[in-house]
Amino acid sequence: MSRTIEPDMVRHIAKLSRIELSEEQLATFGRQLADILEYFDKLAELDTTNVEPLAHAVEIHNVLAEDTPRPSLSADAALANAPQRDGDFFMVPKVIGDSL
């Protein structure tokens, strides 16, 4: 079954996604969304009565390193590759205020 997605629906989805689309993109995305929904229709045909719900296809466990204190870098070692520094601090361009 070939499903069609109306341009108004694509515009609505684009607005929710906060993206602007040209008329050509509206047509392209409409076809692509229809293809995606058609694929979901195929997936819905599968018999999943004995399939247990799961979040991942394989078991995933976090592997965290032991939190042990270690000596930290000296200020000179940490700032060795800094393009600019002011004493023991990195100097960076101003990004807020009237610098825009």
Mean pLDDT, all residues of the chain: 88
Query: 0.75 exceeded by the pTM?
Result: no
List the CATH code of the domain at 7-44: 1.10.20
Dihedral pair phi/psi, residue 75, rounded to 5°: -60, -40
| Boundaries of every domain in the chain | 7-44
Report the length, in residues, of the chain. 100
pLDDT tens digit at each of 100 positions of the chain: 567 889 999 999 999 999 999 999 999 999 999 999 999 999 889 998 998 888 888 888 888 888 899 999 999 999 999 999 999 999 998 888 765 4
Look at the block and give the residue holding tokens 């602007």.
Answer: 20
